[in-house]
Amino acid sequence: MGFGSGRAANPKPVSKKPGSARNRRVRGGSGGSGGDGIRGMAETNGCGYSPATRVLTLPTILTLGRVAAVPLLVSTYHMNGWWATTATTGIFIVAAITDWLDGYIARKMQLGTVFGAFLDPVADKLMVAATLVLLCTKPLKVAMYGEVPWLLTAPSITIIGREITMSAVREWAASQNRKLVEAVAVNSLGKWKTATQMIALTILVATRDNSLAGYNVIVALGVLLLYISAGLALWSLAVYMMKLLRILLR
């Protein structure tokens, strides 16, 4: 997808003065903001990134672990038995935790890198998109109506489409100027979208084999939260676009 492209051809030397904005490091992780892409970008060498001194820092290794966990998630999801459901749910929960942890470590230990800033949103979107697609392969049953194929498909397409759109918009903004980057920085709507999305997916993955007591109520809650997340995804997208338009039309 090419996150972080559009770098200046001949970037200016980065200031080495302590506290200089041009010497700040970008984070290697998302800090739990749900993979909303280019976040917390410092005023750096013309492209929004500070130069990386190392590629494989601890936050980046955690992010790479999330990428590696995607095929493992897919494999366990298609296996049968309570242990497979437990494994799939565990993988997703650990991935969600490391999504927050890599950003926290990057900020506290100043271990952010250009590569980490590129990889983090990619890892987030891979995990979420893979989980949504997997859930759509097993239509939910709704009382007397039987299987309802579109029940999860509709919010899944909405969420994935929004993520693809925002990834492209943020990449374009990063190649333009700081005002545009700030306009698409993660807002509270994006954070609420991520929170409801992660809770919904955890519930739906955990109940995929109908083994939990109170299955119908729990699944209904998961579906409701997924639709709320899809609504917040569209709302936050509209807010981002309005901010961009106001800047572009000045």
Instruction: State yes or no: pLDDT of 27 exceeds 50.
Output: no
pTM over the 0.85 mark: no
Average pLDDT value for residue range 33-48: 39
Find how far residue 250's CA is from the centre of its chain: 31
- pLDDT band with cut points at 50, 70 and 90 for residue 239: very high
Residue pointed to by tokens 């609504």: 231
Classify the phi-psi angles of 202: left when phi > 0, otherwise alpha if psi is within -120 to 50, otherwise beta: alpha
Query: Which of these, 28, 29, 27, 35, lies nearest to 194 by C-alpha position?
Result: 35
Extract the tokens encoding 187: 């807002």
At 89 the pLDDT is: 94
| pLDDT confidence tier of residue 180, bands split at 50, 70 and 90 | confident
Contacts of 21 (CB under 8 A, 6+ apart): 42, 43, 44
Reply yes or no on whether the pLDDT at 68 is more than 50: yes
Pairing of strands 146-148, 140-142: antiparallel
Return the pLDDT at 186: 81
The CA-atom distances, in angstroms, between 64 and each of 2, 29, 56, 228 are: 16, 11, 9, 29
Cβ pair 204, 218 in contact under 8 A: no
Q: How far from chain centre, in Å, is Cα 182?
A: 18
Q: Is the pLDDT of residue 47 over 60?
A: no
Domains and CATH numbers, the chain: 21-248 (1.20.120)
Average pLDDT score over residue span 213-220: 76
Per-residue pLDDT at 218: 86
The average confidence (pLDDT) of the chain is 78
